[in-house]
Structure 1
Amino acid sequence: MQNRIKKKLQDGKAIIGTIPTIDHRTTLRALAASDFDFFLIDTQHSQIDITTLYRMLTDVGRSKEVIVRVPFNETYLVNAALDAGADGVIVPLTNTPEAVEKAIQAAKFPPRGVRSWGPKGAVNYGGFENYAAVANDEVIVWPQIETLEAVEHLDDILTIDGVDGIMIGPADLGWSMGYMPHEGEEEVGKMFQHVLDKCIEHNVPWGMFTSTYERAEKWLTRGGKIATVGSDAGFMGDGMAATERLVNELRDRVNS
């Protein structure tokens, strides 16, 4: 077990992922054939439960590293995602060093952490000894920075052993500053830059749910290291809209 995206980040490379939302083998395998570095499965803002997560991770297999955003900073949720086969976790609302330490301990076996033993999906129901030997080194933990409280504690958070990167929650960080989503772009952008500068200072990879290519380009070219672009449902919608425009133009032309 080697975590390819963790190695890329350690080598100073940037990584770009996408977000699977559709629990269907055909869709997952089509995404798996892409050149994205990783998948991000969101169980915080979706209806993906642990049974669905197991199925999705099984369909992806080892074709891509998969990071799971858990719903809350609870040990059993981190354990469940990793036992199902996730290569790492994003943990929301990690606003203090104590909250970040709790998330890391949930992802690590003793003596570093409190993760309990039972990684059946993670080892494809075999290969337990190899997984036990490397899991603490290879599993990723990305705390989510999404409140002003987290920003206030950022220097302390970024020095904690086991923080493999951070992920900005752009909408919620904006909310905590008093701006609704897509408002206060200049001021919220300055806060993103402040967090990025701190990450560069501490040599910790900075990431964000960038959603679009343009936003990913903006922040990766400034020194960010982790971005997400699009989703399976978004790609289907974009492809349908593009084809629909062509079909409508063709229909109008031949019927005129």
Structure 2
Amino acid sequence: MPAPINRFKAALLQGKRQTGLWVALASPLSAELLAGAGFDWLLIDLEHAPNDVRSAIAQMQAMSAFPVTPVIRPPMSEAWVIKQVLDAGCQTLLIPMVESVAQVEALLDAIHYPPKGQRGVGAALVRASGFGAQADYLTTANEQICLLLQIETRKGLDALDAIAAMDGVDGLFIGPADLAADMGCLGNPGHESVRNAVLDAFQRIKRAGKKCGVLTSDPGLIEMYKAAGADFMAIGSDVGLLREAANVAFDRYNSAR
């Protein structure tokens, strides 16, 4: 039995825009609820949310009954943590703070089994292979891994063309929050200079034949980035949705008193 088909990667290759949501509450219950809401992908955040590999596995298990792709953002681009996330069963990675070709070369080495890379071989023990039940996992896993690179600094933008030209990179994701901070617009990812940087990055990514993505919950920016050809977009977070719903409920209660 081969590695499972990566629905997210296949959809991108078919030109189908993929709509997602950040999942940061570290709860299998909220992950399960959101998995049934119709999103194409849900991002389990290990960088800023209180997650580890065990909690990520629990959330992937909770999502597994639904046609949604779990994407994991590890806290860093280190080979050891990438190995753990892949062995846990994640096939799509969003790597934060990518800034150089050398960094991407190391990432490509980390996500692929030999001879293409140097991913450690422990498939008989791990969830990714059905704990050894998928006999062909080792020979089919490489082609189902989807590598997304998060560009979120001016240094990353400077290296964007070289990075986007690399074989094995499936998509580049512009992180407007950190980019805004690096551009002197801390806390204002919708600033005109940041918007223009995102739009310019989209054009450069598409010229290289790669897929582009972004995160924003601003309705105006969602439409702007859709019109600019965003291939995959996160339109908010579970934290933001819960906070917004709580505020609406509280205001409704107060207005009724």
TM-score, length-scaled by structure 2: 0.90
CA shift, 1:171, in A, is: 1.8
The residue number in structure 2 matching 1:14 is: 17
The CA distance in 2 between the partners of 1:240 and 1:203, in whole Å, is 42
The residue number in structure 2 matching 1:173 is: 179
1:35 and 2:41 aligned: no
Question: What SS class does the counterpart of residue 136 from structure 2 fall into?
Answer: helix
Match of 1:70 among 62, 70, 74: 74
1:110 and 2:119 aligned: no
The CA distance in 2 between the partners of 1:85 and 1:184, in whole Å, is 35
The residue number in structure 2 matching 1:190 is: 196
1:46 and 2:46 aligned: no
CA shift, 1:38, in A, is: 0.5
Q: Is the 8 A contact 1:57 1:84 kept in 2?
A: no
Q: Is the 8 A contact 2:22 2:45 kept in 1?
A: yes
Moved more, 26-35 or 233-242: 233-242
> What is the letter of the counterpart of residue 45 of structure 2?
D
Match of 2:137 among 131, 135, 153: 131
- In structure 1, the gaps of 5 or more residues are none
Question: What SS class does the counterpart of residue 27 from structure 1 fall into?
Answer: helix
Q: Deviations over 1:212-231 (max 9, x none)?
A: 44432220221111111222
CA shift, 1:21, in A, is: 2.0
TM-aligned CA distance change 1:197 to 1:159, over 3 Å: same
The CA distance in 2 between the partners of 1:23 and 1:188, in whole Å, is 29
What is the alpha-carbon root mean square deviation over aligned residues? 1.9
Equivalent pairs, count: 251
> What is the letter of the counterpart of residue 108 of structure 1?
H
Q: Is the 8 A contact 2:19 2:40 kept in 1?
A: yes
TM-score, length-scaled by structure 1: 0.90
The CA distance in 1 between the partners of 2:180 and 2:238, in whole Å, is 26
Q: Is the 8 A contact 2:24 2:50 kept in 1?
A: no
Question: What SS class does the counterpart of residue 109 from structure 1 fall into?
Answer: coil
Q: Is the 8 A contact 1:166 1:204 kept in 2?
A: yes
Q: Is the 8 A contact 2:222 2:235 kept in 1?
A: yes
The residue number in structure 2 matching 1:86 is: 90
Of structures 1 and 2, the larger Rg is shown by 1
Moved more, 240-249 or 165-174: 240-249
1:167-246 maps to which residues of 2 (within 5 A)? 167-182=173-188, 185-246=191-252
Q: Is the 8 A contact 2:19 2:232 kept in 1?
A: yes
The CA distance in 1 between the partners of 2:56 and 2:169, in whole Å, is 24
